[in-house]
Amino acid sequence: MATADVVKPDFATERKHFIFTDEHDQLRESIRRFVIKELAPHADEWEEKTFPDSVFTRMGELGFLGLDKPEAYGGQGGDYYTSLVLAEEMAHAHCGGLAMGIAVQTDMAMPPILAFGTEEQKQEWAAPAIAGQKILSLGITEPDAGSDVAGIKTRAVKDGDDYIINGSKTYITNGHRAHAIVLVAKTDPDAGHGGITLFLVPMDLPGVIREKRLKKLGMHASDTALLAFQDVRVPASAVLGQIGKGFYHISWELQGERLIGAAGCVAGAQHVFDRTLQYAKERKAFGREIGHFQVIRHKFAEMATKIETARQMVYTTAWRFQNGEYPVREITMAKVYAARISVEVADECIQIHGGAGYMQEYGIERSWRDLRLNRIGAGTDEIMLDVIGRSYGL
Ligand SMILES: Cc1cc2nc3c(=O)[nH]c(=O)nc-3n(C[C@H](O)[C@H](O)[C@H](O)COP(=O)(O)OP(=O)(O)OC[C@H]3O[C@@H](n4cnc5c(N)ncnc54)[C@H](O)[C@@H]3O)c2cc1C
């Protein structure tokens, strides 16, 4: 074979995945520039104080909060992949709490308003949320019920034309800063899954109490609230979607939340991998770079293979989602797999850093702490496996 015929592996080539177009690449480039220039430099400060509300305003101005949202409400009208690109690029801020606070706005609280809300609700809440002028949160979890959504106790009782809401929600991201909450409440406690309804509740109503700012293992840049609702009176127009269909509405919402979460896990794992690769090429022990020890080289090979597998699951599942399928099994698989491997990768990266991995100044331990949430939030590993198992009729 002549030399010219030798096909060499193109390890260094940036490969475009088939779901992305040149427009997606340009969007990726512009989000990355923004994240690295305007967000990443503040990551350490925001770990201490949480990120400021002005991030929403700025990202709203730039159009980043409505990439895949309808133009009628100020969005960019892009496809689902544009939201995926945002979730991936937010990893470059190295600030998991920030990425989560933004994802709650764009991919957790906003989708049910746009999918099930009235025109009035969309104008009042979705449009200003896309513009970054109003901040949203989502309230499912309660002190006595998380995985078991049907076990929630928050009640909304009809009183004339109004509803009176009583109950408590916990671990609510954006809960301290939010202007409104998409709230899951029981309207008929005897009706099981059919007795749950969503409400869109302004947070400045009398009886809404932001009880406690919760301290946590990671995601320090986000605010996490314990909320109480004491005789909160809302008009019937606060019902979001259909009465008694809240369980199904929120089950639908969770699919988008899980897929975006999985994309964030892959990006977070890639980010900590890249930093660690650089370290392994520079750090020397016993006279050579540690990355050249076979055992370390194999750690990178294992990590890269896991990340790539998770990435392909996320992209293929996103392709199904974008093309009108409702691939709950695949979303669940992508979520549990990406969450698990992201934690495994971050843990291995701490190991490769040695003592430096344990020190705050290298930021590797932050990646581990932040990524660890993903095995719990948006549905635990155990619940994900149960959903997958049940999908086979078990
Ligand atoms: C930082 C952070 C931010 C969050 N943000 C929000 C938010 O914005 N909005 C919101 O509504 N929630 C939020 N959550 C809550 C999160 O979604 C829940 O913590 C999660 O769904 C698990 O619920 P739980 O904590 O009540 O655990 P539990 O449901 O009490 O579960 C405890 C353990 O039991 C296991 N378990 C439960 N049921 C089963 C079963 N059937 N089979 C096998 N094992 C089972 C679980 O897997 C877990 O290991 C957040 C949580 C955190 C930590």
Mean pLDDT of 34-48: 98
Whether this prediction's pTM lies above 0.85 is answered by yes
Model confidence band, residue 16 (pLDDT cutoffs 50, 70, 90): confident
The strand pair at 155-159 and 196-202 is best described as unpaired
By alpha-carbon position, which residue is closest to atom 40 of ligand 1? 383
Residues forming a β-bridge with 163: 158, 234
* Other Cβ atoms closer than 10 A to 233: 14
Q: Does residue 372 register a pLDDT over 70?
A: yes
Q: Does residue 275 register a pLDDT over 80?
A: yes
The strand pair at 162-173 and 224-235 is best described as antiparallel
Quick check: CB of 219 below 6 Å from ligand 1?
yes
Mean pLDDT of the chain: 97
Query: Residue 15: its pLDDT value, please?
Result: 74
Question: CB neighbours of 225 closer than 8 A, spacing ≥ 6?
Answer: 137, 169, 170, 172, 174, 175, 176, 210, 211, 212, 213, 214
Separation of CA 235 and ligand 1 centre (Å): 30
* Other Cβ atoms closer than 10 A to 132: 24
Separation of CA 12 and ligand 1 centre (Å): 41
The phi-psi region of residue 214 (left if phi > 0; otherwise alpha if psi is between -120 and 50; otherwise beta) is beta
Give percent of the chain with pLDDT exceeding 70.
98
Mean pLDDT of 299-323: 97
> Could you tell which of 104, 107, 147 is best to mutate to test the pocket of ligand 1, judged by most ligand atoms within 8 Å of the CB?
147
Q: Does residue 81 register a pLDDT over 60?
A: yes
Quick check: CB of 386 below 6 Å from ligand 1?
yes
Quick check: CB of 351 below 6 Å from ligand 1?
no
**Of ligand 1's atoms, which has the minimum distance to the CA of residue 174?**
8
Model confidence band, residue 4 (pLDDT cutoffs 50, 70, 90): low
Model confidence band, residue 10 (pLDDT cutoffs 50, 70, 90): confident
User: For tokens 């109004």, what's the residue?
Assistant: 162
Quick check: CB of 345 below 6 Å from ligand 1?
no
CA distance to 160, 168, 184, 207, per residue, from 238 (Å):
14, 18, 12, 15
Question: CB neighbours of 54 closer than 8 A, spacing ≥ 6?
Answer: none
Separation of CA 194 and ligand 1 centre (Å): 21
Mean pLDDT of 27-43: 98
Would you name the residues annotated as active-site residues? Answer: 257
User: Which of 245, 237, 256 lies closest to 121, judged by CA?
Assistant: 237
Angle between helices 381-390 and 328-353 (to 10 degrees): 150
Residues 201-225: pLDDT tens digits?
999 999 999 999 999 999 999 999 9
By alpha-carbon position, which residue is closest to atom 25 of ligand 1? 146
Q: Does residue 5 register a pLDDT over 90?
A: no
Long-range contacts of 5-10 (CB under 8 A, 24+ apart): none
Give percent of the chain with pLDDT exceeding 90.
96
**Of ligand 1's atoms, which has the minimum distance to the CA of residue 145?**
26
> Could you tell which of 138, 257, 380 is best to mutate to test the pocket of ligand 1, judged by most ligand atoms within 8 Å of the CB?
380
Residues 66-78: pLDDT tens digits?
999 999 999 999 9
Question: CB neighbours of 379 closer than 8 A, spacing ≥ 6?
Answer: 147, 254, 258, 332, 335, 387
Q: Does residue 3 register a pLDDT over 60?
A: no
Backbone phi and psi for residue 296, each to the nearest 5 degrees, phi listed first: -75, -40
Q: Does residue 120 register a pLDDT over 80?
A: yes
Q: Does residue 357 register a pLDDT over 80?
A: yes
Assess contact for 116 and 200: CB atoms under 8 A: no
Quick check: CB of 171 below 6 Å from ligand 1?
yes
Separation of CA 141 and ligand 1 centre (Å): 7
Q: Does residue 185 register a pLDDT over 80?
A: yes
Mean pLDDT of 360-378: 97
The phi-psi region of residue 160 (left if phi > 0; otherwise alpha if psi is between -120 and 50; otherwise beta) is left
Residues 144-159: pLDDT tens digits?
999 999 999 999 999 9
Q: Does residue 377 register a pLDDT over 70?
A: yes
Quick check: CB of 147 below 6 Å from ligand 1?
yes
Query: Residue 103: its pLDDT value, please?
Result: 98
Model confidence band, residue 1 (pLDDT cutoffs 50, 70, 90): low
Query: Residue 8: its pLDDT value, please?
Result: 83
